[in-house]
Chains A and B, each alone.
Chain A
Amino acid sequence: MMEVMNILPVLIVLTGALVSMFLSMYDKFSMKYHIGVSVLFLVLALAFAVYPAGEIYAIQPFSDYFNDLLIFDTYSNFFTIALIVGALLVILIGEHYLQAHSFFKGEFLSILMFSLFGMILLANANELITAYIALEIASFAVYVMVGFNTQNPIRVEAVFKYLVLGSFIGAFYLLGVVLIFGATGTTQLTELTQYILSHSNGELTLVYIGLTLIIFTFFFKIAAFPFQSWVLDVYRGAPILVTAYMASVFKIAIFSFFLRAFLQSFPTLQDFWDPILTVLIVFTLTLGTWLAITQKIVKRMLAASSIVHTGYLLLAFIAVGENIESAYSIIFYLIAYLLTAIGSFGLVSHIIAQTKVRVTYDDFKGLAQERPFLAAMMTIFMFSLAGIPSTIGFIAKLYVFTEAINAGYIYLAIYAILATCVSVYYYFKLIAMMYFYPSNKELEEETFDDSRISTYAIALIAILIIWGGVGSALLFFMPIPSIDGIFELVQISVKSLFL
């Protein structure tokens, strides 16, 4: 019975995707209705996913049928919750955006849930081929979502670039798997670990090459140097809601599998990757920062800054070999970035949905006078992205940098902190635009409708971000749970990998 409970969240998401697909055949259902249905399914899935939270377990259900290809443990459960919450937030924040644009049809939500299904599957994958299939399910859904904006001519470039490069890099992954299978005779993560541990370095050449090819896919999907070139165009061409989804939820899904693989199977290979990763981190940070500084369009700036955040994540990633604690810091950072990215992209999409013209920095001039609350929330998101104290972004950065320094990567950490210092420039520029300039005359006339679900969802995220940063520091004023709770959950989830 327990086994059924475990696979229920995935099944519900899949059912939701199918139901939503059937519903979208009928024109009489409005967008609002579709949103309602998908939210319903996601909440249901979330309820079943949250049910076992807090206990530590690792099971491989129905091993006769699944042949141990999937594993359900606290780790995957944690990620499942994060993914579902992320998707839910994206839909809620986009509620207005989805209704304001006629090119969004019911299928969009169906595709979104299909991609979510793939991502959850990825978090549960215990084997390289399964992971590949899950990754492609998610990826292909996202390719479609990127091209959804039929009114925008640049979408063609975006979707084409992403599709071709993504499939190409997928081929690398498969080649890597083939090499590994050829060398070891298995694609199961646990058996692979056994093989690596029981063989000397000289016998592992093929495994090394294979794994390097696989890690290329990883770098591509999280947009690390030198695979970052697609990010700006794809993020720009996609509807901004999809951009938010890719930058936050998809990134988490990618990390969920590769972190598992790294922690379980390849710690002994750390020395081999160490120099490569070091160089990559430096370039990722430099390039991301450079791109972010030079952007004039806010959406592109956020996209470029997501490359910088990838750099911070990789910094924690490189420290994993020395220090298991930094695995926790990666997960915590992902959660913090999930909230902040959905918040900031979502807010921009919310504004675009209303005015259709707020695209560049200049368009944000004077927002504080027109919409003080939206500007205040945007400020909170920018602070969190920049890692200013009193936001969850600060705690996440503190966590990552502390563990990196603890693992001995002092210079890399200092370099990352310098990148943070520069990032203050491009985040604060937006705040400066909103607060320090008079507003644009033509835009003033437009009426905003603020009492929408999207607004409340954005406000909720802003509150969560502040709570994550301040938390129990206000303990003597009000009884609220502290962020140590999240730390504990993260630790339990990683520990379940080693059961």
Chain B
Amino acid sequence: MGTDLLSFIIFLPAFVAFILMVTTTKVEDVRNIAFITTIITLVLVLKLYLNYDPESGMQFVINVPWILKYGINYYVGVDGFSLTVLMMIAILIPSAYLLLWDGRTKGYWINMLLVQTGVTGALLSLDIILFYFFWEMMLLPVFLMIGNFGTGDKIFTTIKVTVYTMFGSLLMFVAIIYLGVAYFNEFGLWSFQYSDLTQITNLTYAEEFWLFLAFLTAFAIKIPLFPFHTWIMDTYKNAPTGAVFLLSSIMAKLGIYAVVRFMIPLFPEIYIQFSSWFVFIGLFGLIYFGIAALMQDDIKRMFAYSSASHLSFIAAGIFSLNDYGVSGALYLVIAHAIATGALFLLIGILYHQTGYKTIKDLGGIAKQAPIFTFIFAIMLFANVGLPGTNGFVAELLIIFGIYQFNPIMGYVAAVTVLVAASFMLWMFQRAILQKREGPALKMRDLKIKEILGLAPWVILVILMGVYPDPFIDKFEPSVIHYLTDILKLGAAK
């Protein structure tokens, strides 16, 4: 196995999915096998995590030719960034299985497995065509999930989200080809490895700017950043719980990750030049989505907006050009994935039990389901960044980062975080705590399986909030490498 470890992690879920697709038909078997597969993947990722050396850059590299003619390779590797996100995905997905356990069909589980392959593949790709390959691949199972298991006007939603994200991807596709051609013209041979593409020097400023925008659009749609967010409302409302979980807590993070992985090295000058714009857009999104969330009555929609709000905050951190901001953003990527993932799944359970997910119809949950409320509260606190949770550490770092970047923006960021806190707690009070007879009586508390599924998340939230060093140590060398070696900035200035 050894060096092929990454390939096993990437392709194991898809391989199992194909086997399941053509063989067994019992839903329980499919689910159990899928679950075991994700556990095996998690074990493999843990093995990777333990063998990883934070100081030595890209590791576990596999580089085999795929399409020789264009120098496209199957080229994967892992560094601090991708390892952290990989770890997060590997833990979140199997736990999510436990919460989605009952009442799903065979296709649901197979799609979940396929998504996992797409996401990990995109995460670990170092060849930009390979990245595109997985980037598209992870969209298709979600397309099938929304269309098959969604509610409401699901067909329209499916087509909308597909065309929307496809549009971004194809813009990126043009940019990728353009870069490849530029490399070919300069060096006389084809390559799409991103480390090679960074060597290109013969692009004019205007060309670089447009390429930058093309990449950014693709990623901004996925994240989603203002003003590319219009697809999320329909989608989060009509999509099944699993798909919402995957979109919000896994795929959106890949958009952020891709900004760091591909855009910083490819366009360092433009990145620095326009960073203040993007910090501004990020902060604007934070406020805009925050206010929008405040006005929602549907809890799922509210979380959709609040999720978009936090993702804008992450984007602001990514563009803040210093160690605090970028590290904080990466930390928030994980914290946010855990918190929103859990919240969406909990809302899924709530809706499944009571049939309601609107704030004004709910209430009195706390009495019926204390454990549910307890975990809900922890995740909510992590989401709004209360001290002692990982959200606090991350938001603090980002605010520091933005403050260093521009003190006024720093103040704005610090104040606007309050918006998020206020609407979340208000919602919590009305929907969960306040006493009220009604649908809440039908609510049952979490089963032991679901508690087991959420336990690692709760532990992570607290652990990462109280003692963040071991987590930050894994990716900080990579962050500093990006800031000093690629962007030529002094780290932590």
List the A side residues contacting B147 at CB < 8 Å. 432, 435-436
Is A414 interfacial (CB 8 A cutoff)? Answer: yes
Q: A424-B162, A432-B147 are in contact. Are A398 and B129 (CB under 8 A)?
A: yes
- Is the CB–CB distance between B163 and A421 below 8 Å? yes
Q: Measured between alpha carbons, how far is A227 from B144 in the docked complex, in Å?
A: 38
A432 touches B158 (CB 8 A): yes
Which one of B74, B163, B185 lies within 8 Å of A424 (CB-CB)?
Answer: B163
Q: Of the candidates B129, B143, B170, which one forms a contact with A417 in the assembled complex, judged by CB atoms under 8 Å apart? A: B170
Residues of chain B contacted by A417 (CB below 8 angstroms) = 170-171, 173-174
Nearest A residue (CB) for B160: A425
Knowing A390-B137, A401-B177 are in contact, say whether A395-B67 is a contact too (CB < 8 A): yes
Give the interface size class of chain A: 35 or more
Q: Check B140 against A402 for contact (C-beta < 8 Å).
A: no
Give A429 to B163 CA distance when docked, in angstroms.
11
A473 touches B170 (CB 8 A): no
Instruction: Given A435-B148, A476-B4, verify A405-B181 contact (CB < 8 Å).
Output: yes
Main secondary structure of the interface of B (DSSP, over half): helix
Residue-wise interface mask of A (390-422) relative to B, using a CB-CB cutoff of 8 A (1 in contact, 0 not):
100011001001100110001001100110111
The chain A residue with its CB closest to the CB of B134 is A389
Within B122-153, the residues touching A (CB, 8 Å) are 129-130, 132-134, 136-137, 140, 143-144, 147-148
Contact partners of A428 in chain B: CB under 8 A: 143, 158-159, 162-163
Q: List B contacts of A436 (CB < 8 A).
A: 147-148, 154-155, 158
Any B CB within 8 A of the CB of A472 = yes
**Chain B interface residue count, Cβ-Cβ cutoff 8 angstroms:** 42
A395 to B67: give the CA distance in the assembly, Å: 9
Residues of A within 8 A of B171 (CB): 417
> Which A residues lie within 8 Å of B133 (CB)?
389-390, 394
Assembled-state Cα–Cα distance A473/B68 (Å):
11
Is B178 an interface position by the 8 A CB rule?
yes
Given contacts A410-B178, A420-B170, A476-B7, contact A388 B140 (CB under 8 A): yes
Determine which of A394, A395, A425, A484 lies in contact with B68 in the assembled complex, contact meaning CB atoms within 8 Å. A484
Cβ of B163 and Cβ of A483 under 8 Å apart? no
Question: Per-position contact with B for A471-499: 1 when CB-CB < 8 Å, else 0?
Answer: 11101110000111001000000000000
- State in angstroms the CA–CA spacing of A414 and B211 once bound together: 12
- Find the B residue at minimum CB distance from A419: B170
Task: Give the chain A neighbours of B65 by CB distance below 8 A.
Answer: 472, 482
Most B CB contacts (10 A, CB to CB) among A390, A413, A421, A482 go to A421
Bound CA–CA A430/B110 (angstroms): 21
Q: Which residues of A contact B60 (CB under 8 A)?
A: none
Q: Mark B174-217, 1 if CB is under 8 A from A, else 0.
A: 10011011001100000000000000000000000000000000
Q: Are A406 and B181 in contact (CB under 8 A)?
A: yes
> Which of A389, A394, A435, A484 has the most chain B CB within a 10 Å cutoff?
A389
Measured in the bound complex, the distance between the Cα atoms of B185 and A482 in whole Å is: 26
Inter-chain CA distance A394–B133, complex, in Å, is: 9
CA distance A194 to B163 in the complex (A): 50
In the complex, A410→B4 CA distance in Å?
39
Is B274 at the interface (CB under 8 A from chain A)? no
Contacts of A422 in B (CB 8 A): 163
A103 CA to B130 CA, complexed, in Å: 49
Beta-carbon contact of B177 and A473 below 8 Å = no
Whether A401 contacts B154 by the Cβ 8 Å rule is no
A383 to B133, CA, bound (A): 13
Cβ-defined contact, B163 with A482, below 8 A: no
- Interface: B66 (CB within 8 A): yes
With the chains together, A337 CA to B159 CA distance in Å? 24
CA distance A71 to B163 in the complex (A): 47
Cα of A420 to Cα of B174 in the assembled complex, Å: 12
* B411 interface hit (Cβ, 8 Å): no
Chain B 62-78 interface mask (CB, 8 Å, partner A; 1/0): 10111111100010000
**Bitwise interface map of B from 9 to 24 toward A, beta carbon under 8 Å scored 1, else 0:** 0010000000000000
**Which listed residue, A388, A414, A472, touches B66 by the CB 8 Å rule?**
A472
Question: Would you give the shortest CB distance from B242 to chain A, in whole angstroms?
Answer: 16
Interface residues of B (CB under 8 A from A): 4, 7, 11, 62, 64-70, 74, 129-130, 132-134, 136-137, 140, 143-144, 147-148, 154-155, 158-159, 162-163, 166-167, 170-171, 173-174, 177-178, 180-181, 184-185
What are 5 pairs between A and B in contact, CB < 8 Å?
A398-B177, A402-B181, A405-B174, A410-B178, A473-B66
- Ranked nearest first, the 7 interchain pairs of A and B with the lowest CB-CB distance are A436-B147, A389-B133, A484-B68, A487-B69, A406-B181, A389-B136, A424-B166
Besides A425-B163, A473-B74, 20 new A-B residue pairs in contact (Cβ under 8 A), listed by A number: A402-B70, A405-B178, A406-B181, A406-B185, A414-B174, A417-B170, A421-B163, A421-B166, A422-B163, A432-B158, A435-B148, A436-B158, A472-B66, A475-B64, A475-B66, A475-B74, A476-B64, A482-B68, A487-B67, A487-B68
Interface residues of A (CB under 8 A from B): 383, 388-390, 394-395, 398, 401-402, 405-406, 410, 413-414, 417-418, 420-422, 424-425, 428-429, 432, 435-436, 471-473, 475-477, 482-484, 487
